[in-house]
Amino acid sequence: TSRLITMKTYELRNKSKEELTKTLLDLKGELSNLRVARETGGAASKLAKIKVVRRDIARVKTVLNQSQKTALRKYFKGKKYIPLDLRAKKTRAIRRRLTAFEANKKTLRQQKRERHFPLRKYAVKA
């Protein structure tokens, strides 16, 4: 199976998962044929094609992985727990920091003090 043109990524994104896996199998078969041709002293055009096919395989795998990840993101959206690899990375310190809600919470004593002794407003003469 000889393919002269490489697959464009935007074309791959429009394909279904089954089509992509079939394409991947075809490409892997083609790559093994090219490797055999390399060992048996094949034409220079076949040797140059190995790089192109490897790139195509990488492209198909990338599209497959990205589509799988977006599907998982959609599935876990709004759920209480999200898998670690789908959570925001940021930094360890930021992930452990108090949330805005937790940081703004006040004790009962603090609430009473603010209610009974509000900040005084002064009219300053200019």
pLDDT tens, residue by residue, 67-125: 999 999 999 999 999 999 999 999 999 999 999 999 999 999 999 999 999 999 888 88
Question: Taking the alpha carbons of 50, 55, 56, 62 in that order, is the dihedral positive or negative?
Answer: positive
Model confidence pLDDT, tens digit, residues 24-73: 999 999 999 999 998 888 788 888 899 999 999 999 999 999 999 999 99
Structure tokens at 69: 């990840």
CA–CA separation, 70 vs 90, rounded Å?
19
Q: d(Cα 89, Cα 80) in Å, to the nearest integer?
A: 17
Rounded to whole angstroms, the Cα distance separating 48 from 53 reads 9
**At how many degrees (to 10) do helices 44-76 and 17-39 cross?**
150
- Give the contacts of 114 (CB within 8 A, at least 6 positions apart): 106
Q: How many residues does the chain have?
A: 126
Global pTM? 0.70
